[in-house]
Amino acid sequence: MNPLELMVAASKRITPMLLNHAIGSDIESVIYYLIKRLRGEYEEFVIISFQDAYVSISKYLKSIYKNAPEAFKGVYLISINPFLEEELNPDLLIQTKDAEIIIGRIGTALGAKSNTLFLVLGLDLYGVRYPKELPVMIPAIIRTLSKGENNNVLIPFDVKIFSESIVEMVNSFALNVFKFGIEIKGNEIKRKLIIIRSPFVEYAMKSWYYTVTPNEIKFSPASERGL
């Protein structure tokens, strides 16, 4: 199975999906292609953006993909602690570091949504800014977004900037974990995907190299078992 199709199928079977990534992995493009594949299968598309993450990723994607605006058209935007995103007139704007207040306001605004695609952006940036709030926020936001029937929750998260204990906590709440990083061999640098956890156990720890183009993500097998 093509790794992109595998991610799509895995995210639809169990949620949430953690997109564990490092600098240089071009996780923004991975998100774009996932959203293109998934959005039409859900009644609503909700983005929860911490610390202006949505405005950052959307600007980047629009500079590369001419259809990027279409992929995010009509999104319900919840913007938490924004500066630049205030200009986008988000559907819900929250200004506080308090995880319990944030989750309470999100829950009140969304209610018990079903058949909804959720994309949580900038949770890692929030964790860097407010490290004491992160252990409360992670399980709470996953619980809040996953409780509706047939919801799909995607969470990109840069684990390289956190301690091992935080990484283990994040991974423990994710039923799908896909790791995106870079591999350096001599003078060659390659992007690499490793499947850490998914409902398709036969693919566990398998890995692929990938390249991103304006039209697709191209994958090639790296090994039977990832490192």
- Residue 182: CB partners within 8 Å, gap ≥ 6? 22, 24, 25, 189, 190, 191, 192
Q: Determine the structural domain holding residue 69 and report its residue range.
A: 3-223
Helix ranges (H only) for 14-52 are: 27-38
Q: Hey, what's the torsion of the CAs at 209, 179, 10, 138, to 10 degrees?
A: -160
Whether pLDDT at 226 is above 70: no
Is residue 83 helix, strand or coil? coil
**Tens-place pLDDT, residues 124-161:** 999 999 999 999 999 999 999 998 899 999 999 998 88
Look over the chain and give the mean of its residue pLDDT values, rounded to a whole number: 93
How many domains are contained in the chain?
1
Whether pLDDT at 83 is above 90: yes
Whether pLDDT at 224 is above 70: no
CATH of the domain at 43: 3.40.50.300
**Distance separating alpha carbons of residues 159 and 31, to the nearest angstrom:** 17
pLDDT band (50, 70, 90) for residue 223: low
For the record, the structure tokens of 61 come out as 């994607």
pLDDT given for residue 1 in this prediction: 82
188-197 vs 176-185, strand pairing mode: antiparallel
For the record, the structure tokens of 98 come out as 């308090």
**Tens-place pLDDT, residues 53-72:** 999 999 999 999 999 999 99
